Structure 1
Amino acid sequence: MNAVRFWIVAILGCAFAGGAFMYYNLVYAGYAELTADQVGEIQLLNVATDQPEAILSQNVKGIDTVKDGVRLSGAISYRVCFDTPSSQAMLSETYVIMDDAVPLNAPSWFDCFDAQAIGAALETGDAIAFLSEENISYGVDRVVAVLPDGRGFVWHQLNPCGEAVFAGDNTPDGCPELPEDF
């Protein structure tokens, strides 16, 4: 009877240790904090020129799963928070607005990025989402959302081409060709 208890405790202990290890790797170890220099300029796509343009930004903080130039996870792990003195009115007159922006969750320790609050602000119209860069990697767009108080957020999200490819479906018309190494 004692041997059975020992093995039950050993199996449960291994399961707990494995679960804790996986949780740590997903939430903490996989992400690296980015400096403002590593994030670079916050850019939006200009309506008139169809070219990206840098906007004014300060207090830039970011995270990603890139370490020493190697991506440890998918391209949608990128998150940035910043402040901008530019008004929503000026931004919406100048840059391409995105109607289908949906922020993705960030790790809880990156507390400036609250996907639920950003998503709710987008639904109510308090926040406006802009296209920053289309196909930053195949099927992934960079999105920037700005609140009325000047707080801004950046994330990567799948576009229709990426959604189709990752679902195993045929790509919709207008999608770029899949890279050979994809």
Structure 2
Amino acid sequence: MSRVGKRPISIPNTVQVTVEGSKIVFKSGKITKELETYRRVHIELNANELAFKSVDNEPQSRAYWGTYRALASNIVVGMTTGFNKVLEINGVGYKAAVAGKNLELALGFSHPVKYPIPEGVEIVVDKNTITIKGSDKQQIGQIAAEIREFRPPEPYKGKGIKYSDEIIIRKAGKTAKK
């Protein structure tokens, strides 16, 4: 039995939810998001709660049960509070700046790296931290991973781009023979 799937999702007043067959439509202001379940779960919409039930007792059905509940919950949280990821830049001469619709990164290459900022995502740079904000959890995580990929942290000096809560295990360098 899915521990995640059992819990109903409480819907705040700012979000309107409608069920159209196997599709769930979420509306909040101008933002509209849809979640297609392909009839893999039963959807129950009460006054201000959204609940999911498994179609049968097969392992794959139970996996869909928890997955679709988590996806729906992420949409509701994204529409109300949003998601953010914080990256830190470590290294001499490494810096970032937002220029128009691009994030410009100076990471020790011969040229600055320009990363285009997608619609619906806000990137804020403050000294050596990059904060990525948006309503789609998957998109925010993907953007953070792509930015980190330009210069991942190295284990000797810790230079590079890392998540703020990431711990870099440092290695000892070579020592001279005595």
Alignment TM-score > 0.5, same fold: no
Name the structure where helix makes up a greater proportion of residues: 1
TM-score bucket (shorter structure): under 0.3
Name the structure where strand makes up a greater proportion of residues: 2
Larger radius of gyration, structure 1 or 2?
A: 2
